[in-house]
Every structure is written in structure tokens, then in C-alpha cells.
A and B are shown apart, each in its own frame.
Chain A
Amino acid sequence: MILVSVGTQLPFDRLVKAVDDWTHLRGRKDVIAQIGPSDYLPKALDYFPFMEHDRFFELQSRCTVMVSHAGMGSIITALELGKPIIVLARDHTRNEHRNAHQSDTLRQFAKFPGIYAARDEDHVAELLDTCETMTAKPSIEATAPREFIDRLAHYVQDEMVPSRRARLMAMLRRSR
């Protein structure tokens, strides 16, 4: 099963249409898409706008290939589950996002094994044609690296002192 996701805040018609056209052309019946507020309504895809986190994670665990915008949720989950993922960045010059960060994100993460960066809609279709041969394996743990967690915990426990105002309020509460 191929699973498409475009996030919940903004439409991404270009990606939805590219996968829909490919699905129609190849006559596939096993492509499911989370299309958010996209205006384009797919003809060949099974689609829905939004799904709760846990149910969507279950779909992600079951699929063989993911197709997505360059959102961190999809990318992190693909790396964690070890699913190949085809990623098309939203282009802010076409009003697909508020700024250009998705292309920055994709440039950084294209190096990771299992992440297939698509240049444009045609490249998405090309990559989909080869999706049966794509490989990936789980490459990250389920939590952040120990060092990051420890450093943040140390900051909160030892370096962060209450503000003067918070200390004053606590003193007033005690004296009452």
C-alpha cells in the first residue's frame, strides 16, 4: 500500500494530482491519501482530509512506501519505521507555503537512506514507477539522542532559576 500525506494546514494540489494521475495511469487500487485542505479532488485515490494521530500512525506502519510533502512529521516517522519515502517540497513561490523552509529541509534530509527527494511532479511519477525496488531500514531511535535529552534536563533542573517575580509571588503565598 502507498500512503500519501500533505499535512493539515495548507493545500498541496501539485503532489495530490501527481500521485492521482500516476495511480490512474497504472490502474493501482492500493493508494491512500491524506490531502488536508487541498482543492484538487482525486479521481483514482482513496482520500480523506485528516486523521487522528494514532490511526494515521497505524496506516504508516502498514504501508510499503510513503509519499509526502517535506514535513518533519512524515520524514521522522519514515526514518523511525524504516519506510522508503518520496518527498516533494512545497514551493513558496507557487503559494504552497509561507516560506522556503521545505526545500531547505529536503536538501538536508535527502542524504538519509530511504529518503527519495523529488524535483517536481514528473519526478514523483518516475520515482513511483521504481517504488517496488526502493529499500529502507529503521535508521533512528524512537526518542531523541540521550545527549540532547540530558543536556536539556540539566538546563531545566540546574541552570534555570525562577524569575524574580515568581520568587516574590511564592514568598507572598507563603506569608499569607
Chain B
Amino acid sequence: MNMRALPKMSEEPALAMRAEQRTLPSDQTVVQLPVRKRVMLIASGGGHWIEMSRLAEAFADCHCEFVSTAPNLIAPFGDRPVVKVTDGSRDTLPALIGSFRELWRLIRARRPDVVVSTGAAPGAIALYIAKLHGIRTIWIDSVANSECLSLSGRAVRPIVDLCLTQWPDLASSDPRIRYFGRVL
């Protein structure tokens, strides 16, 4: 966890602990404080965003920051605004370079513990940036791809920690892909 970003978190629990320790047995029991994981969730507008919103509840116990390419979206939960980045695809490479720069700055500024994406191309780029920074990564391929993983999915498959498909047949044909369920 980034202590510089959250200076108070390191102080307050320590004070609370001292009071508690008076009643603890003297066998030096270490009490682990639960640390909420910081998660960045990235999805392009349209279907990718809708699929992300449907499964966002899985991250309800984490500090979540939502990122999308569509303007003025409302996060599925929490009151933080959704960060907007430039949209791009392999047909619009200059725009994709713009998304890369914005995502690079964003991930370096926030330093999340996990980056999750449901696509499309900007999400895949974010996972590569996260990997370079030692951040854990999850790719969830769209339910639209029933016959083979999307191009972005195939691009991130070698580097992500978890690569999910929403079709069991796809997962059984490739040990690097897993199936947890479907968003609908």
C-alpha cells in the first residue's frame, strides 16, 4: 500500500492498537489489520462498460477506481468520479498512443494493487503498463467472444495473472484461460 498517498492510515491504527495491547496476553500476539486492496477497473464505453458494471460487486471490499473511454459515466458504487481516457483501437493508432500516455500517467500516479479490464484495446494497454510496474492484472474477455478470445485478450494472455473467458469450451481448450462464470 502506498503510504505517501494515505499518510493517516499508518498512524491511527497504531494508536488504537496501543490501547488494545493492554488487555492482550503477553505472548506478543501479532494482530493483522485488514488492508483493503486498491483496484483500478478499466473498460471502454458500451458493452465493455456494461459487463464491467455487472461484475463490479466482486470488488466491493476494495478501494475501487473506475476508468473508461466514454464521458460522464457514473461508477457502479462509491462516489469517486469515473476517470476518462482517450479511446483508440488498432484502426486508430495515434489515438491509441494518446490512451497509452494517459494510462501510463494514471497508473504511475495511483499505484493500485490490482488492475482489472473487460476490454477493449485501452484496457489491454493498461494491463501491460500494470505488469511493468509489478501490479497484479486480471483480464475478463467479453461474453461476445464465444469462439475465440478477442485480439486484446490474446495479446494480454501471456502476461496477465488471471485471464477469464465467459465460455467454458474456450477455457477447456487452453490451460492459460479460466472460466468463473458469465455476466448474464
Contact = CB atoms under 8 A, between A and B. Distances in A.
Interface of A: 7-9, 52-54, 70-77, 79, 98-99, 101-102, 104-105, 107-108, 140, 142-145, 147-153, 155-157, 160, 162-166, 169-170, 173-174
Contacts of B49: 53, 73
Nearest to B142: A72
Nearest to B143: A72
A99 B37 contact: no
B145 interface: yes
Given A153-B59, A156-B62, 16 more contacts: A9-B87, A53-B45, A72-B48, A72-B51, A72-B142, A76-B51, A76-B184, A101-B147, A104-B144, A143-B54, A144-B181, A148-B181, A149-B57, A152-B164, A162-B113, A170-B1
A152 B180 contact: yes
6 contacts: A53-B45, A70-B144, A72-B50, A76-B47, A76-B50, A160-B136
B33 interface: no
Contacts of B146: 101, 104-105, 107-108
B47 A147 contact: no
Interface residues of B, number: 52
A166 B130 CA distance: 11
B125 interface: no
B83 interface: no
Contacts of A105: 144-146
A166 B134 contact: yes
Contact of A160 (B73, B161, B180): B161
B46 to A, nearest CB: 4
B128 to A, nearest CB: 15
A145 B182 contact: yes
Nearest to A142: B54
A145 B51 CA distance: 12
Nearest to B55: A144
Contact of A163 (B89, B134, B147, B182): B134
A169 B135 CA distance: 11
Contact of B74 (A54, A160, A169): A54
A99 B144 contact: no
Nearest to A74: B47
B81 to A, nearest CB: 14
Q: Looking at B47, B51, B62, B164, which has the most chain A CB atoms within 10 Å of its CB?
A: B47
A140 B184 contact: yes
A144 B47 contact: no
Contacts of A155: 162, 180
B17 interface: no
Given A166-B113, A173-B3, A143 B46 contact: no
Contacts of A147: 181
The 6 A-B residue pairs with the shortest CB-CB distance in the complex, in nearest-first order? A148-B181, A165-B134, A72-B47, A73-B47, A152-B58, A73-B46
A140 B147 CA distance: 23
A153 B114 contact: no
Interface in B1-27: 1-4
Contact of B57 (A8, A101, A143, A165): A143
A104 B1 CA distance: 42
B61 A169 contact: no
B105 interface: no
A163 B144 contact: no
Given A53-B45, A148-B181, A162-B136, A99 B57 contact: no
